[in-house]
Amino acid sequence: MYGNDIPELLGEVEAAEAALREAAARDTEATGGEVAYFEAVIQADQKIEPRDWMPDSYRKTLIRQIAQHAHSEIIGMQPEGNWISRAPTLKRKAILLAKVQDEAGHGLYLYAAAETLGVSRDELVDKLLAGRQKYSSIFNYPTLTWADVGAIGWLVDGAAIVNQVPLCRCSYGPYARAMIRICKEESFHQRQGFEILHTLSHGTGGQRAMAQDAVDRWWYPSLAMFGPPDADSTHSEQSMAWKIKRFSNDELRQRFVDMCVQQAGVLGLTLPDPDLRWNEDRQAYDFTQPDYDELMQVIKGNGPCNRQRMAHRRRAHDEGAWVREAAAAYAKKKAAA
Ligand code: BYC
């Protein structure tokens, strides 16, 4: 029912996990100091660990990307959280609640991975709240109907998996390990979204129309999640040389499109692109690119929900102050005992 791509992607996660264990068992032989060691580890597809020397710019790039990723998980709880109290059945409510909780967990794994690079979680959260660090553009779009919860699961989590499976082979050990766990959970999320849309698209005419409308609205923002086109991507070249990113933004976007076409067929829904067609020479689908000017506007804070999302996050942060204080006081008391 779900198509063959998700099992294939999960197979890649398993392979990345095995490669990680193998890499840990191998020694890297490099003479000539820390720079040579760093380069040898990257060349040999082994992992840089927190104890290892690394160039400042490598550290900064990782902090930027991992923090942005962590913030995305936390802000990403809002659009779906919007539907927890209005899920159509108790079962759907319980599933959605668990999914949104998973996103919080992903945020925690990622903040913890970022902390191994010498920044504190407080510092990162402060930067998000001050608008000095980004989160994914996708979460600045509204969830207007229940079908949007399905479309987020199918398209947004689907795009997230395609983007994140290669990160399981990232050269920085703590990020790679966090990604393996996240990808396994994310595959459930993608399937729950697919299943919601499948139910709606095989339901009444009204339900079908609601599912199609959601897919129409989420398709292009999901394509934009992969970032600007390669020619405009500032970080890709360096990040790929360091094996943080393993594929370019455009390569991953293409993989996602190819995967969705097949699944849309199973759903009986149409992807809103009249120019989507198989290209025999490229062995891939030709498709209309998302509006990158819109992506830049959303990244700059001018998307439909940017202000609402940040206001909500700031309010939640302020209202949670007493919990953080209580937890810190308890930890201090325990340490003293
Ligand atoms: N939104 O040089 P580029 C999830 C920024 S969580 C906002 O190509 P890079 C989920 C980029 O940061 C989804 N900003 O950058 C959670 C850079 O700006 P700065 C999040 C974007 O880093 C809950 C500039 O544009 N996933 O799936 O090489 C529920 C130039 O771009 C975006 C991750 O974070 C965007 N879409 O590549 C459900 C995955 N695109 O930093 C689902 C990890 C680009 O120079 N991150 N920018 O100011 C990545 O893989 C990479 O960071 C990206 C961008 C592919 C996103």
d(CA 337, CA 323): 21
Distance 258 CA to ligand 1 centre (A): 21
| pLDDT tens-digit map of 156-170 | 999 999 999 999 999
Out of 21-25, 67-71, 81-85, least confident range: 21-25
Distance 162 CA to ligand 1 centre (A): 13
pLDDT-based confidence at 2, cuts 50/70/90?
low
Closest CA to 267 of 196, 328, 179: 196
| pLDDT tens-digit map of 138-190 | 999 999 999 999 999 999 999 999 999 999 999 999 999 999 999 988 888 88
pLDDT-based confidence at 212, cuts 50/70/90?
very high
Place of tokens 């094996």: 243
- CB-based pocket (< 6 A), ligand 1: 64-65, 68-69, 72-73, 76, 103, 134, 136-137, 156-157, 160, 163, 224-228, 233-236, 239, 245, 249, 299
Ligand 1 atom at minimum distance from 227 CA: 40
**CATH topology (fold) of 4-336:** Ferritin (1.20.1260)
Distance 163 CA to ligand 1 centre (A): 10
Reply yes or no on whether the pLDDT at 72 is more than 80. Answer: yes
- The number of CA neighbours under 13 Å toward the Cβ of 254 is 14
Instruction: Report how far apart, in Å, the C-alpha atoms of 140 and of each of 106, 125, 253 are.
Output: 19, 18, 20
d(CA 183, CA 106): 10
- What is the pLDDT averaged over residues 87-99? 97
Distance 29 CA to ligand 1 centre (A): 34
pLDDT-based confidence at 16, cuts 50/70/90?
confident
Distance 137 CA to ligand 1 centre (A): 8
Out of 17-31, 203-217, 274-288, least confident range: 17-31
d(CA 14, CA 200): 32
The stretches of 165-287 forming alpha helices (DSSP H) are 173-201, 205-224, 236-241, 249-267
pLDDT-based confidence at 20, cuts 50/70/90?
confident
Backbone torsion region of residue 170, taken as left when φ is above 0, otherwise alpha when ψ lies between -120 and 50, otherwise beta: beta
* Substitution site in 61, 71, 72 for ligand 1 pocket (most atoms within 8 Å of beta carbon): 72
Evaluated on CA atoms 32, 33, 36, 37, the torsion sign reads: positive
Closest residue CA from atom 26 of ligand 1: 69
Ligand 1 atom at minimum distance from 239 CA: 28
* Substitution site in 57, 60, 64, 65 for ligand 1 pocket (most atoms within 8 Å of beta carbon): 65
The DSSP call for residue 268 is T
Q: Regarding predicted confidence, which is higher, 302 or 5?
A: 302
Q: What single letter denotes the amino acid at residue 216?
A: D
Distance 73 CA to ligand 1 centre (A): 12
Distance 225 CA to ligand 1 centre (A): 7
Mean of the per-residue pLDDT values for the chain?
94
Ligand 1 atom at minimum distance from 76 CA: 23
Domain boundaries, the chain: 4-336
Closest residue CA from atom 49 of ligand 1: 65
